[in-house]
Amino acid sequence: MSFKNSGHLILGIIISSAIFIILHFNTDIKAIIFFTTICFVFSFVQLKTNSIANVITLHFLANLIIILESHITVK
């Protein structure tokens, strides 16, 4: 039985997602939903491409979008 076909894969995704959310120190429910979604997207990309470089690139782009949005949005 491979790791991908075991229950450990789901547990690994859940644990890594929880750590990712905790490290971003956000308790807003919208942010938690966003981070949870992005974690599952990152996990899916990693599983499909078997490349951490793709996930790093996606993380960079997500951060860039958030930074640009915060500078464009009029407060």
Residue 61, domain extent: 3-72
> Burial, 75: exposed, middle or buried (Cβ in 10 Å; 0-12, 13-18, 19+)?
exposed
| pTM for the full predicted model | 0.67
Question: For residues 62 and 35, is the Cβ–Cβ distance under 8 A?
Answer: no
> What secondary structure letter does DSSP report for 46?
H
Tens-level pLDDT at each residue, the chain (75 residues): 455 556 677 888 888 878 877 887 667 788 778 888 888 888 889 888 988 899 999 999 988 988 888 888 665
| Distance separating alpha carbons of residues 10 and 41, to the nearest angstrom | 13
In the chain, how many domains are there? Answer: 1
Rounded to whole angstroms, what are the CA distances from 75 to 48, 69, 72?
39, 11, 9
